Structure 1
């Protein structure tokens, strides 16, 4: 279960120690040139907290091979701890308040903005990585840079598109994935009549809920604030219309149990054949390939051959995406600053990162643009929608910046709750008014 974190906790966490001074030059090149690992105090260990990856092979690689190589190359022991992604933020808040905990947090979304005063300055590392690898995507920079410095080093971006059953959509007249929301509702209504509804979480969970609700709002022309980052404009005819549409979509086309789903329930529902489509990363498809004899269609054929990926449908204002950026944040309290900086340079280096990237099989793309050219994209056309996903994303806080206030709204699920309350029976106008009031309180704080 996710632990809630209120604004007072955020502000208390933000009051941590300022970042320590940066170490001198050298980096990975200096390590390699010396032909030996640097001399650290015996038993130096770096504690890296991450999510439980939806691609298990990647976690296995980090714990085994990467950890062993880290000790050989850097003389550092690597402790990789993985937890449910919904629990990471509570761990960060607790650590910065107590002044002790992991040396690195692999954080999601725009969470680094919440801990700006407690995050060590990693600008030197981030700039080196960007220069060597074609620059960071704008969405990666937006969540990890506060306009003055890098609060974290962007690591990866999980692209979210719709996994859908190709044959089932064809049966109801859609040879291609629906291009508009009205087509999506039409297809879903016909599929639900066949006992094959769409599956979408509107629960308080980190990934699939906000990456659905924000783009839906944007596609109707709704937004949280104006470009000035101060004027709250959520309560607009465009936002209200998006909520009205969601109530129709939910009633006509969706599995209504999705209100209680987290980011794994929809995976299980899809792979069990109870839903026809769901917004997700590529983990459903990757799992179906990993165990082709376990996941079968109603005809007894491997489900992997019937899965395709479709982009977000368009509304009156267009089609938009919110893909999940991940960044490595080093808290200022860490007593292993020197070793942690060397590790960050090493794990983000092209040769080391590539090994992890390949195990992801396209589920995560790199935070830098160079990975678009990797040969992995030539292996499977079903994965191609993820190749350039990071170029077409937006981040919460639009049309303003993705700052701490925007991050607090994501964390409190204000936008997702707006839609969830409406599909449970609250009038769309009331749901929007209440969400607007909460957004206004956060921006005024």
Structure 2
């Protein structure tokens, strides 16, 4: 149903509920929230990351079309590869022109907070309406107590494996401890089924795997005060572990980006990897891969000597740049997209690829529709920020952007450096950004 711009206007310039009974930006939906009337003649440009699940993009585009039909605001959506989003956003911040809204990664917004629109009123109202923000996602989006970004999703990362091959290697259940996990990977390699985890500059899979290696053994980049603490006995133990694990890998993982492990797994080249749920759906939606799809299982990373689950899940937030000529339109657009009918439709379309940032959306049926989704369901609740154990800010964002942890783990795993040398080099690199 097409709703006219007039139908959506309410006193004070807000947006009214749809004639179909679905709250859009109306007084009922946001009774205690600010409302935003798009500027006259407004248009928007949004830059997002390239999708791995087509249904996720389709749902977002469908919701965007509804917004345009309701408001008359044209929205152009551009896509970039995951690795290119970060530099594109940084350039936009530095030159003061570009997309009005960008979907950024992790704590990227912390690199240029003064270039971003303060969205505290908007984000606070959303949190009050929808059960509050998950702590980890909120932390990425706030600076000095103010929201400089709007948390959009956590992209859950889980271990994906071939069930029949694991059983053939002598393991009736998937190990939940790092020692047993290593033994299983060795057994898989001996059976001709090597493993493979991303050691290259993959924004998602490389960071997720390498931070798990570090944290599972008690290592950390910095302490609670932001002092670099990566060169520690715990880190050395983690790097010795990954050196052994690497012996079970398929060759070439040190150059993998986010797409490479998907391809290797679906080609039957590796038995175990870590990925979003997109890997499963790529197999499920391809008739030629039906046998692989039926054999895929998912689980969380095993627990290491630290004694508890410690995982980095990719997070993405929407930022509005101060240079935007149409900030009210940008806020109106996001308010529409976060409203329950639209946001639920997006989560459903994403098929468990995107985990909600607001607690009220945890009841979406997508999470219980198949056991495959279970390891991804708690990503927003359990994620540990990449700046652990210190505060997020310029330094944590820069260390992440410079792949300090990924490079350290890759150097030790491949034997390019000893664990001690790799940890020392990471310490030196991190100290360039952390000045306490």
| CA–CA separation in structure 1 for the residues paired with 2:434 and 2:199 | 24
User: Are residue 316 (structure 1) and residue 313 (structure 2) matched?
Assistant: no
Aligned-residue offset at 1:75:
2.0
- 1:95-244 aligned within 5 A: 95-229=92-226, 231-244=227-240
Q: Secondary structure at the match of 1:173?
A: coil
Match of 2:296 among 292, 301, 307: 307
User: Are residue 52 (structure 1) and residue 42 (structure 2) matched?
Assistant: no
- 1:252-267 aligned within 5 A: 253-267=248-262
| CA–CA separation in structure 2 for the residues paired with 1:370 and 1:390 | 12
CA contact (8 A) 2:178 2:304 kept: yes
| CA–CA separation in structure 2 for the residues paired with 1:391 and 1:67 | 28
With normalisation by structure 2, the TM-score equals 0.90
CA contact (8 A) 2:25 2:335 kept: no
- 1:67-86 aligned within 5 A: 67-86=64-83
Give ranges in structure 2 of 5+ residues lacking alignment: 1-11, 18-23, 29-35
Q: Which residue of 2 aligns with 1:439?
A: 430
| CA–CA separation in structure 2 for the residues paired with 1:38 and 1:115 | 27
| Residue 183 to residue 28, structure 1, CA distance change in 2 (3 Å) | farther
User: Are residue 375 (structure 1) and residue 365 (structure 2) matched?
Assistant: yes
CA contact (8 A) 1:31 1:74 kept: no
Q: Which residue of 1 aligns with 2:350?
A: 360
With normalisation by structure 1, the TM-score equals 0.88
CA contact (8 A) 1:28 1:345 kept: no
Q: Which residue of 2 aligns with 1:282?
A: 277
Match of 1:294 among 288, 302, 326: 288
Match of 2:245 among 240, 243, 249: 249
Q: Which residue of 1 aligns with 2:60?
A: 62
Q: Secondary structure at the match of 2:151?
A: strand
Q: Which residue of 2 aligns with 1:12?
A: none
Q: Which residue of 2 aligns with 1:390?
A: 380
CA contact (8 A) 1:142 1:401 kept: no
Structure 1, residues 322-357: CA drift from partner, whole Å, max 9, x if none? 111111000111111111111111111111111111
CA contact (8 A) 1:62 1:80 kept: no
| CA–CA separation in structure 2 for the residues paired with 1:353 and 1:320 | 28
| CA–CA separation in structure 1 for the residues paired with 2:269 and 2:94 | 44
Q: Secondary structure at the match of 1:80?
A: strand
| CA–CA separation in structure 2 for the residues paired with 1:205 and 1:345 | 31
Q: Which residue of 1 aligns with 2:32?
A: none
| CA–CA separation in structure 2 for the residues paired with 1:365 and 1:155 | 9
Aligned-residue offset at 1:371:
2.1
Q: Secondary structure at the match of 1:192?
A: helix
Match of 1:88 among 85, 89, 92: 85
| CA–CA separation in structure 2 for the residues paired with 1:290 and 1:94 | 37
| CA–CA separation in structure 1 for the residues paired with 2:131 and 2:251 | 43
CA contact (8 A) 2:38 2:73 kept: no
| CA–CA separation in structure 2 for the residues paired with 1:39 and 1:198 | 51
CA contact (8 A) 1:121 1:150 kept: yes
| CA–CA separation in structure 2 for the residues paired with 1:56 and 1:73 | 24
Q: Which residue of 1 aligns with 2:6?
A: none
How many residues are paired up? 410
CA contact (8 A) 1:133 1:368 kept: yes
